[in-house]
Structure 1
Amino acid sequence: MESQRSLLVIAFAIVSFFLWQDWQKDYGPKPVVPAQTAINSPNASAEPQLSASGPLSNTTSTTAAVTEGKVIEVNTDVLNVKIDTRGGDIVGLVLPKYTLSLEDNTPYPLMRQLNGFNYTAQSGLLGDGPDEKRTAKPVYSVTQDKFALADGQTELNVSLKLEHNGLQIEKRYTFSAGKYDVRVDYIVTNTSTGSKVIQPYHYLAQTIENGKDGNMMMPVYRGGAYSTSEQRYEKFAFEDMQDQNLDLATKGGWVSMLEHYFVSAWVPQAEEQNQLFSLVNNNEGIIGVRGPQSSIAAGESKTLTATFYAGPKDQASLAAIAHGLDLTVDYGWLWFISQPLFWLLQQIHNLVSNWGVAIIAITLLIKLAMFPLTKAQYEGMAKMRNLKPKIDELQARYKDDKQKMGPAMMELYRKEKVNPMGGCLPMLIQMPIFLALYFVFVESIELRQAPFIFWIKDLSVMDPYLVLPILYIVSMYAMQKLTPVTVTDPMQQKIMLWMPVVFGLFFIIFPSGLVLYWVVSNLISLAQMLYIYKGMEKKGLHVRNA
């Protein structure tokens, strides 16, 4: 029994260690590296340079932006977008289907330029294109200042046009009803007498703050991420951008910026050889992709295409857009457990239409699946309790001969058919499930602002009235009363007495969905214990505490 309780403490310490390790990896202090003030293009000798006065610079005159360009608005059922005709870049993006919080119904502003904070999605053409080494981005022409997806309309095209250096360029955004992914085409026609070379680039730029949200036990990542043909998903935090430039050649791939439940991403053509890059300029972290150079003969037209995504981390939608993009729903190192658990949770929700009820149902299924192990655990604990007099006798007999005590104890276990570690296996299995569910409840946008019943209006945040943490503490004490105890040391008894309170204090700041899972798990365990103990007492085994 002492080993069972000690293992509980050790298991909790291991879980805490891995949570702390993940927090340190993404949010812990890193060496301070001075921000780069100039932008250098990787492989500059082989490709057009991206200088500080080129297309990735934010140092161009604001006066020019005001007098030469304008901001147009594009509204669909799921996106409200602002596009600056100077460069044709996305400088604002709001998600009308999502609010800031339950208390604040303001639509969620994913991309914005306000109060010294910039978050934009930019793109252009290098080579003979209009963005090569210019002090100011080109100004596109548009036919109207506002575009809206009409009722019943499935697609909306927003066309920006420009003539430059013998090239007729149309930058076309194609929005679709109900979708957060936008097709971005460059349709380029060479009207000159000679061939032209162009190279597309796409990048995300965001003002570097601390890259941290939440708290120490409930951190959320804000920063970059990318994918290559060899790495399906890799985070690239703002600190990494300050430390060194990303420079990776890959077939396909994508780049993104994450903001807890939301993500923006540029996805180039999967069959092309692309170059991923990052840099820091004027306290802005930039992560992007350059496509291959394309030669356009005189009189020829070419279309260069990429996909832009800005919206919720919906795994099914992201997986359909690009390989590995669904991994931006970051379930951590236990993703191979979290993803099946989320799938099962989602299937249950489709039946019951309440995420809290779905959590209760998945908890019941997990506990039922583990019942054979649980039964073996409690039977093993009961047998160990009944063996205690014989164990005490062996310890007294061999107290001065440790070498003989070990074999004698093992012989006793063999003779009585008792596995001293038999009670540990269910707990060792349950802890990874608990941690995997922790990531599911923290990362899955489906639980954001998802109500359960009564006072629980949002399963992704802590219980506002602490009812669930209190119920957890009470259920833990009830389990302690039912669990056979052989601990006689007063200090260990005090530790065991206060353990539920310590656990409950941790659960105060956890998502209420996770605490709901653990409370229901404890209640089911209590019912299983009563059932198992009743059967063992019929066999003459003493299992309950006096």
Structure 2
Amino acid sequence: MDSQRNILLIALLFVSFLLFQQWNMDSNPQPQGQGVAQQANISGDVPSHSGDGQPITDQSSSNNLITINTDVLALTVDTLGGDIIEAKLLAYDNELDSTDPFVLLKNIPNHVYTAQSGLIGANGIDSTAGRAQLTASADSFTLAEGLKELHVPLTYQKDGISYTKTFVLERGSYAVNVDYTVDNQSDKPASVQMYAQLKQNLMDDGSSLTMPTYRGGAYSADDVKYKKYSFEDMQDKNLSLEIKEHGWAAMMQHYFVSAWIPRGEGTSQLYTLTNNGLGFIGVRLPVTTIAPGQQDTLKTTLWVGPKLQEQMEATAQNLNLTVDYGWLWFIASPLHSLLSFIEGLVGNWGVAIIILTFIVRGAMYPLTKAQYTSMAKMRMLQPKLQAMRERLGDDRQRMSQEMMELYKKEKVNPLGGCLPILLQMPIFIALYWALMESVELRHAPFFGWIHDLSAQDPYYVLPILMGATMFMIQKMSPSTVTDPMQQKIMTFMPVMFTFFFLFFPSGLVLYWLVSNIVTLIQQTLIYRALEKKGLHTK
């Protein structure tokens, strides 16, 4: 197999990969119940029940809002129920060169995305009839300079029971602890159950062929490390799973995620439901009974922020898996770590991508050398193979036997030219996901006109240069292809690749361009060495 056929193979594999990813996004199979977990029926009788047995999907709100600010988060909380109805990520701009921060949680007419939590059960203060109006000591709370933590309590009194909902935020952290302390000063036991859920409009995931991103639900439970559960899945069937040790319920989008993590002992319930065009995914903690004169605290954690792997992993087990590298995660994850390490040294993600490309292609140099050596040997055998075809005619069985004997005699592996390509493709696909999923590349500048490595090249310079280098590789690799149709396909291949890469993130195009340049250099050096050994490359 010669170099131009290898290019055709790369193209077919690459396009097949893109089509597979899009198909996987569109068809996303339904998760099955794990262990003792069973699917709830679609009637709406799901594990987010209030004391009267109905799910909490209350849409009411008040004008009594408070703000909570740290160095990385600006939260708006509605004191009716104590829900977080807005979350601004202060370290991330909304648009490139914008002075406005990125808003992850929001409560606007065309997009509702909020983090709700409360108490249900016999002595709960939330029900389908309404939410409790909590009281705050001020309208605004800010983490002061020099302090590491900020505590914001909201209080409520009912039937001799004091309820205190406390938000605990730490400097530099996107993990918000939300605790409910119940102080039972009545003469009867108090039974409560805490729930925490994410609410969002049912919407399209926003995926495309070149940008297969995902917006929707995801979860982790005892027997499931990480699983997506799309809005379409939620509409088809309500999810109901038990969490005995580790788990969380999340909503994801490109680069960002919010997730509720139950804390404490006992079995929690993970659920989904839909209502009035909204999708819900959440957790329900075990029922807690507080004796008269006693108090207890129910604890959860809300992650609301970017997909920062180390911080998420420290917050909850398997939460870092929301950085979805696909089935080649075992390659993509080390590549991302290496890329981050290089960027820490050079201070520029584009330069880091270039250095990473040289490292990856350098590591694969033995495969590349074996590929071109095999191709050179195959070219030398072409006259003998042609004479064999003319001599044996249509006798394919004898032709196959004599070809194998010739390969064995000349010590040539007929797959030696394409096998290295097949081994290199997983590297490229893994790096594709590493770059696609890295929030660090969002709005990261390179040089000149490239101000955002996560967006396409605005002037298409990199894709055009990539196509030109691909054309040069093709010209440097004279082909033995004689079929006119195959020749036309090979001629058109750089054009097709250029068209695809017009819409790819510029960071990925930069990798492919540099990879092509390295290929041209390696190809020249290898061909010269082979010609000195008497192996003709043309």
TM (normalized to structure 2)? Answer: 0.94
The CA distance in 1 between the partners of 2:112 and 2:482, in whole Å, is 62
Match of 1:24 in 2: 23
Shift of 1:282: 1.0
Identify if the C-alpha distance between structure 1 residues 417 and 153 changes in structure 2 by more than 3 Å, giving closer, same or farther: same
Match of 1:92 in 2: 86
Map 1:320-335 to 2 at 5 A.
320-335=314-329
Matched letter for residue 348 of structure 1: I
Map 1:475-494 to 2 at 5 A.
475-494=469-488
Counterpart of 1:212 in 2: which secondary structure?
coil
Match of 1:217 in 2: 210
Matched letter for residue 106 of structure 2: R
Query: In the alignment, does 2:496 pair up with 1:502?
Result: yes
Match of 1:112 in 2: 106
The CA distance in 1 between the partners of 2:349 and 2:247, in whole Å, is 34
Map 1:395-414 to 2 at 5 A.
395-414=389-408
Match of 1:56 in 2: 57
Matched letter for residue 225 of structure 1: A
Shift of 1:56: 2.8
Equivalent pair of 1:37/1:280 in contact (CA under 8 Å): no
Matched letter for residue 240 of structure 1: D
Identify if the C-alpha distance between structure 1 residues 75 and 50 changes in structure 2 by more than 3 Å, giving closer, same or farther: farther
Gaps of 5+ in 2: 31-40
Shift of 1:327: 0.8
Identify if the C-alpha distance between structure 1 residues 50 and 428 changes in structure 2 by more than 3 Å, giving closer, same or farther: farther
The CA distance in 1 between the partners of 2:186 and 2:355, in whole Å, is 67
Map 1:78-477 to 2 at 5 A.
78-213=72-207, 215-251=208-244, 252-269=246-263, 271-477=265-471
Counterpart of 2:333 in 1: which secondary structure?
helix
Shift of 1:491: 2.0
Gaps of 5+ in 1: none
Identify if the C-alpha distance between structure 1 residues 121 and 541 changes in structure 2 by more than 3 Å, giving closer, same or farther: same
Equivalent pair of 2:124/2:192 in contact (CA under 8 Å): no
Map 1:67-86 to 2 at 5 A.
70-86=64-80
Q: Which deviations, in whole Å up to 9, do the C-alpha atoms of 1:502-536 show, x marking residues without a partner?
A: 11111111111111111111111111111111111
Counterpart of 1:178 in 2: which secondary structure?
coil
Shift of 1:149: 1.2
Q: Which deviations, in whole Å up to 9, do the C-alpha atoms of 1:346-368 show, x marking residues without a partner?
A: 11111111111111111111111
Equivalent pair of 2:143/2:150 in contact (CA under 8 Å): yes
> Which segment is superposed worse, 432-441 or 281-290?
432-441
Equivalent pair of 1:130/1:164 in contact (CA under 8 Å): no
Shift of 1:7: 4.5
Q: Which deviations, in whole Å up to 9, do the C-alpha atoms of 1:410-463 show, x marking residues without a partner?
A: 000111111111011221111111111111111110110111111111111111
Match of 2:46 in 1: 41
Matched letter for residue 40 of structure 1: D
Matched letter for residue 238 of structure 1: F
Identify if the C-alpha distance between structure 1 residues 29 and 362 changes in structure 2 by more than 3 Å, giving closer, same or farther: closer
Equivalent pair of 1:128/1:165 in contact (CA under 8 Å): no
The CA distance in 2 between the partners of 1:476 and 1:50, in whole Å, is 64
Equivalent pair of 1:267/1:307 in contact (CA under 8 Å): yes
Q: Which deviations, in whole Å up to 9, do the C-alpha atoms of 1:33-62 show, x marking residues without a partner?
A: xxx997422497xx956515xx3322x4x6
Equivalent pair of 1:40/1:49 in contact (CA under 8 Å): no
The CA distance in 2 between the partners of 1:324 and 1:37, in whole Å, is 28
Q: Which deviations, in whole Å up to 9, do the C-alpha atoms of 1:40-90 show, x marking residues without a partner?
A: 22497xx956515xx3322x4x6xx34xxx111111111111111110111
Higher RCO structure, 1 or 2 (CA under 8 Å, sep 6+) = 2
Matched letter for residue 249 of structure 1: E
The CA distance in 1 between the partners of 2:54 and 2:527, in whole Å, is 74
Matched letter for residue 332 of structure 2: S
Identify if the C-alpha distance between structure 1 residues 270 and 187 changes in structure 2 by more than 3 Å, giving closer, same or farther: closer
Identify if the C-alpha distance between structure 1 residues 129 and 27 changes in structure 2 by more than 3 Å, giving closer, same or farther: farther
Counterpart of 2:280 in 1: which secondary structure?
strand
Identify if the C-alpha distance between structure 1 residues 116 and 110 changes in structure 2 by more than 3 Å, giving closer, same or farther: same
The CA distance in 2 between the partners of 1:475 and 1:5, in whole Å, is 14
Identify if the C-alpha distance between structure 1 residues 394 and 111 changes in structure 2 by more than 3 Å, giving closer, same or farther: same
Counterpart of 1:221 in 2: which secondary structure?
coil
Shift of 1:403: 1.2
What is the aligned residue count? 527
The CA distance in 2 between the partners of 1:497 and 1:237, in whole Å, is 41
Match of 2:14 in 1: 15
> What root-mean-square deviation, in Å, do the aligned CA atoms of Structure 1 and Structure 2 show?
2.0
The CA distance in 1 between the partners of 2:18 and 2:301, in whole Å, is 34
Percent identity between matched residues is 47
Counterpart of 2:334 in 1: which secondary structure?
helix
The CA distance in 1 between the partners of 2:408 and 2:390, in whole Å, is 20
Identify if the C-alpha distance between structure 1 residues 42 and 75 changes in structure 2 by more than 3 Å, giving closer, same or farther: closer
Shift of 1:113: 1.0
TM (normalized to structure 1)? Answer: 0.93
> Which segment is superposed worse, 468-477 or 5-14?
5-14
The CA distance in 2 between the partners of 1:507 and 1:400, in whole Å, is 43
Equivalent pair of 2:264/2:299 in contact (CA under 8 Å): no
Counterpart of 2:215 in 1: which secondary structure?
strand
